[in-house]
Amino acid sequence: MAGQYRSGQYRFRTGDQALVRQINLAVIMHQLRENAPISRAALADITGLNKTTVSSLVRELIERQFVREVGFETPGGGRSAGRLAMMLTLDPEAGYIVSAEIGVDFLLVICTNFAPEVIWRCKENINPDMGQQVIFDRLLALLHQAVANGCKTCHTLLGVAVGVPGLVDQASGTLLFAPNLRWENVPLRPPLKEFIDAPLVVDNEANMAALGEHYFGAAQGYDDVLYISAGVGLGGGLVHGGRIYGGVSGFGAEFGHMTMDPEGELCNCGNRGCWETQVSQRALFRYLRRAVGQGRASLLIEMTEDNLGQLTVPIVVEAARAGDPLALEALDVLGRQLGIGVASLVNALNPQLVMFGGILSLAGKFLLPVVEQELRRRALRWNRDAAQVVLARHGFDACVMGGVARVFQAILAEPDTLRRETAWAMTTANA
């Protein structure tokens, strides 16, 4: 089956020559992404397509400016005789991609070429108290700067992605609920579409981050990936068979709102004892403040000049490195709660890779050994043996790199559907 869908006129997609061409274009694009520089002959070898078909597909991709010839192969590479082959790569200048994240306390926008290399990046701190309109205006200003920088070198805007810390209705591009921003029912697509004349994706930041690590980061080559991101809240993403697992309406992977302690702390979502109330910087700081409030000694008191309201994750990590017993204890407690949840998800989802990201991953050295302990104690042996636990690679950029991956994924799957003639435009009237 080429894929079953309900959205179109027909319940099942049928096959025809157009589908065959699209499938084979996509296969060539994927191989170029993974194995470039590569020759036409080598493409034929690793895809099983015949050389005439490969040549014809490559010609089309070169015409569409997604692929370029980069010179003849280096001689002596195992070939005993004959002409040297022309090597191909994806064309970094095929166009540019703009990807943004609305975090709980920051905005981050990047612009990449089609390599993808980051050609522009800007991060600004925000505060939910600034209000929705102010934050959104700042985002628009950053997006305009990104576009201005992108079109200097690449001309064509291939797509724009925006990641947000909450539930998204992807069809309408509405942010339904972001508990830690205290935003509800915010339509993001219409105001963005006023400025952006290119494919636009809005999705949950952790879903995007998971895909970003799968495409460009620590999860390359792993098709079943569990991504846990702990910062202000606890976000989750799941890649299954190389694609984001969204559930029926795209609200899946809200692992941070699994109930771990039915009578536990109140969560911003309204429930009690969510995993996020145990594993987040808020949970870490609460633990430390309570302990100090009860008279416990700690380096942290001095390091924050007796104002634990100034705690940050890097400060706690520094204290732990210096051997502060309270900081070590707090990270041990948090690591244990993290490990219990990860063990449950390893049993429930049987991932090949568990990736831990977000600001709390700065404490990975202290947390991961405890997570491994809980996995040994609680996960089924076979599920545990199948899963490797690693730190995410892209750190703060995981979500925005995931946005780039979303645009990539759409182009790789259907390189022939992008309307290049219109895709470049981004109105700058209100900039």
CB 407 within 8 A of CB 158: yes
Q: What distance in Å separates the CA atoms of residue 88 and residue 71, rounded to the nearest whole number? A: 8
Closest to a copy of itself by CB, 124 or 265: 265
CB 164 within 8 A of CB 370: no
* Preceding omega of 199 cis (within 30 degrees of 0): no
* Cα 247 from chain centroid (whole Å): 17
Q: How far is the CB of 367 from a copy of itself (least distance, A)?
A: 17
Q: How far is the CB of 254 from a copy of itself (least distance, A)?
A: 4
b/e map 171-198, b = 16+ CB within 10 Å = eebbbbbbbbbebeebebbeebeebbbb
Closest to a copy of itself by CB, 258 or 315: 258
Closest to a copy of itself by CB, 48 or 295: 48
Closest CA to 397 of 109, 78, 145: 109
Q: How far is the CB of 398 from a copy of itself (least distance, A)?
A: 20
Closest to a copy of itself by CB, 3 or 78: 3
Q: What distance in Å separates the CA atoms of residue 332 and residue 341, rounded to the nearest whole number? A: 14
Closest to a copy of itself by CB, 119 or 343: 343
The CA-atom distances, in angstroms, between 224 and each of 3, 109, 214, 400 are: 19, 27, 9, 20
Q: How far is the CB of 319 from a copy of itself (least distance, A)?
A: 26
Closest CA to 403 of 244, 254, 241: 244
